[in-house]
Structure 1
Amino acid sequence: MNILLLGMTGRTGSEIAKLALEDKHQVTALVRTPEKITVNDENLSIIKGNVTVKVDIERAVKNADVVISALNTDGGAALTQSMPLIIDAMNAEGIKRIVTIGTAGILQSRVESDVLRYQSSESKRKLTRAAEEHHKTYLMLEESELDWTVVCPTYLPDGEAVGKCREERDFLPEGGKKITVGDTAVFVYKQLESDEYIKSRVGIAY
Structure 2
Amino acid sequence: MHIAILGATGRVGRRVLALALADGHEVTALVRDPNNIERQPDNLTLIQGDACQAADLLATVSRADTVISCLSTGGAEVLSTATPLLVGAMGQAGVRRVVTVGTAGILQSREHPALLRYETPDTRRSSTRAAEEHRRAWEALAASGLRWTVVCPTYLPEGEPQNLFRAERDYLPDGGTSITTGDTAAFTYRAALDDAWAGCRVGLAY
TM-score range, shorter chain: over 0.9
Give the whole-Å Cα distance in 1 for the aligned partners of 2:122 and 2:90.
35
* Equivalent residues of 1:170, 1:201 under 8 A apart: yes
- What do the CA deviations read for 1:50-78 (whole angstroms, capped 9, x no partner)? 00011111111111111000000010011
Give the whole-Å Cα distance in 1 for the aligned partners of 2:126 and 2:14.
29
> 2:12 is paired with a residue of what secondary structure?
helix
Give the whole-Å Cα distance in 2 for the aligned partners of 1:34 and 1:122.
42
1:85 matched residue in structure 2: 85
* Equivalent residues of 1:106, 1:134 under 8 A apart: yes
The residue type paired with residue 205 of structure 1 is A
Identity %: 49
Give the whole-Å Cα distance in 2 for the aligned partners of 1:29 and 1:191.
18
1:156 matched residue in structure 2: 156
Q: Which runs of 5+ in 1 are unaligned?
A: none
CA shift in 2, pair 1:172/1:122, >3 Å: farther
Paired residues for 1:1-206 under 5 Å: 1-206=1-206
The residue type paired with residue 49 of structure 1 is G
> 2:189 is paired with a residue of what secondary structure?
helix
Structure 1 residue runs of 4 or more that deviate by more than 3 Å after TM superposition: none
* Equivalent residues of 2:66, 2:193 under 8 A apart: no
Give the whole-Å Cα distance in 2 for the aligned partners of 1:27 and 1:193.
13
> 2:88 is paired with a residue of what secondary structure?
helix
The residue type paired with residue 58 of structure 2 is E
Give the whole-Å Cα distance in 1 for the aligned partners of 2:53 and 2:111.
40
More moved, 101-110 vs 30-39: 30-39
* Equivalent residues of 2:103, 2:152 under 8 A apart: yes
More moved, 121-130 vs 65-74: 121-130
TM-score, length-scaled by structure 2: 0.98
Give the whole-Å Cα distance in 2 for the aligned partners of 1:64 and 1:193.
12
> 1:9 is paired with a residue of what secondary structure?
coil
* Equivalent residues of 1:108, 1:116 under 8 A apart: yes
Give the whole-Å Cα distance in 1 for the aligned partners of 2:195 and 2:54.
29
Give the whole-Å Cα distance in 2 for the aligned partners of 1:155 and 1:37.
26
Q: Which runs of 5+ in 2 are unaligned?
A: none
TM-score, length-scaled by structure 1: 0.98
* Equivalent residues of 2:79, 2:137 under 8 A apart: yes
In the TM superposition, residue 122 of structure 1 has moved relative to its aligned partner by: 4.6
The residue type paired with residue 76 of structure 1 is A
